[in-house]
């Protein structure tokens, strides 16, 4: 059976049986016509299909486009087998290219310094919420915490002598994360002048960070703090607390920290999850190289 005939029959199947939209049918058939190089349906094998996808890659097609082509080919050949046109499916071992994992948004070290300095200055007026916000931002960035971990911290989770905090991460796994002198100072100021004001508004809680009504702070309130304080510095109105975690991990690696040490600090079960931050650092290096090297 000629590919041209099979494609036309498949298009009718997509329209009449699967009830796909005309635009989707056109996209499927256009991809398949690109595969049709005068072969019969029976002559197409896995090597033809791999060569077809490789050609699209060399042509510069987007990964999403190539993934769509692979999905369309698998659908076409499964139909051909079910319709009795083929005895076996040549696309059964055809794999789509993995979609690139998006790199996290990262604030520069200078931007973070500006944000944290501004938060400290705002807290100088002694407002309880401003003192809390400064401590929240410092600790999120210093210890690369998840927002749920920050919200779950109790007073007795702090070890102020050692400069560490015990947090409960994914899967109820506990770990100890360090924090530095600026975070310590911000926490001290908050505990001395901010938290007593907030806790008086509630019924009493062991939580370190409190909301405006005196109960344990929620993730939505932390999102609001980060969005207001950090978002403008990096040009992202919807920036969330995870951006500080991303930034901290990237800056640690930029500064020469060991990848496994960063993995432990972040509480990642897999080193592969941590390695995305090496990609961010590598991208930064590439940009610097292109700007600075005379032979770039």
Question: Which tens digits make up the pLDDT trace of 40-68?
Answer: 888 888 877 887 887 777 677 777 788 88
277 classed as catalytic: yes
Per-residue pLDDT averaged across 97-111, rounded?
66
Query: In 3D, which of 139, 127, 136, 122 has the Cα closest to residue 193?
Result: 127
**What's the confidence (pLDDT) of residue 245?**
86
Per-residue pLDDT averaged across 63-86, rounded?
88
Per-residue pLDDT averaged across 13-40, rounded?
86
The topology (CATH level 3) of 3-82 is DNA polymerase; domain 1 (1.10.150)
**What's the confidence (pLDDT) of residue 1?**
85
Q: Tell me the pairing of strands 174-178 and 164-168.
A: antiparallel
125 classed as catalytic: no
Distance between CA 139 and CA 245 in Å, rounded? 10
The topology (CATH level 3) of 109-291 is hpI Integrase; Chain A (1.10.443)
Per-residue pLDDT averaged across 258-282, rounded?
71
295 classed as catalytic: no
Q: How confident is the model at residue 264 (pLDDT cuts 50, 70, 90)?
A: confident
Q: Measured in Å, how far apart are the chain's first and last C-alpha atoms?
A: 53
**What radius of gyration, in Å, describes the C-alpha atoms of the chain?**
28
Q: Which of 74, 245, 246, 251 is catalytic?
A: 245
284 classed as catalytic: no
Query: In 3D, which of 153, 125, 123 has the Cα closest to residue 135?
Result: 123
Q: Which of 132, 146, 189, 246 is catalytic?
A: 146
Q: Which of 141, 179, 190, 277 is catalytic?
A: 277
170 classed as catalytic: yes
Q: What is the average pLDDT score of the chain?
A: 83
Could you state, in order of their start, the residue ranges of all structural domains in the chain? 3-82, 109-291
Q: How confident is the model at residue 209 (pLDDT cuts 50, 70, 90)?
A: very high
Residues 6+ apart with CB under 8 A from 289: 296
268 classed as catalytic: yes
């Amino acid at each position: 059976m000629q590919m041209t005939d099979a494609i036309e029959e498949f298009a009718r199947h997509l329209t009449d049986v699967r009830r796909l939209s005309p635009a989707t049918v056109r996209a499927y058939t256009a991809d398949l016509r690109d595969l049709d190089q005068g072969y019969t349906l029976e002559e197409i094998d896995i090597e033809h299909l791999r060569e077809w996808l490789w050609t699209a890659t060399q042509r510069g097609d987007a990964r999403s486009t190539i993934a769509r082509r692979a999905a369309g080919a698998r659908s076409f050949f499964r139909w051909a087998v079910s319709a009795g046109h083929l005895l076996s499916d040549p696309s059964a071992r055809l794999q789509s290219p993995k979609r690139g994992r998006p790199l996290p948004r990262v604030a520069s070290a200078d931007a973070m310094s500006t944000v944290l300095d501004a938060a400290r200055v705002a807290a100088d007026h002694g407002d309880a919420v401003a003192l809390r916000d400064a401590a929240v931002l410092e600790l999120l960035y210093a210890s690369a915490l998840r927002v749920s971990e920050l919200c779950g911290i109790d007073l007795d989770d702090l070890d102020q002598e050692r400069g560490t905090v015990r947090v409960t991460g994914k899967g109820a796994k506990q770990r100890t994360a360090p924090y530095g002198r600026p975070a310590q100072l911000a926490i001290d100021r908050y505990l001395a002048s901010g938290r007593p004001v907030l806790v008086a508004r509630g019924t009493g809680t062991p939580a370190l960070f409190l909301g405006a009504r005196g109960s344990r702070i929620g993730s939505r309130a932390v999102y609001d703090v980060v969005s207001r304080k950090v978002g403008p510095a990096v040009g992202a109105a919807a920036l969330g607390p995870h951006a500080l975690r991303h930034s901290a991990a990237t800056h640690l690696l930029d500064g020469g920290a060991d990848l496994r040490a960063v993995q432990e600090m972040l509480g990642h079960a897999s080193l592969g999850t941590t390695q995305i931050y090496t990609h961010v650092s590598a991208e930064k290096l590439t940009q610097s190289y292109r700007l600075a090297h005379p032979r770039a």
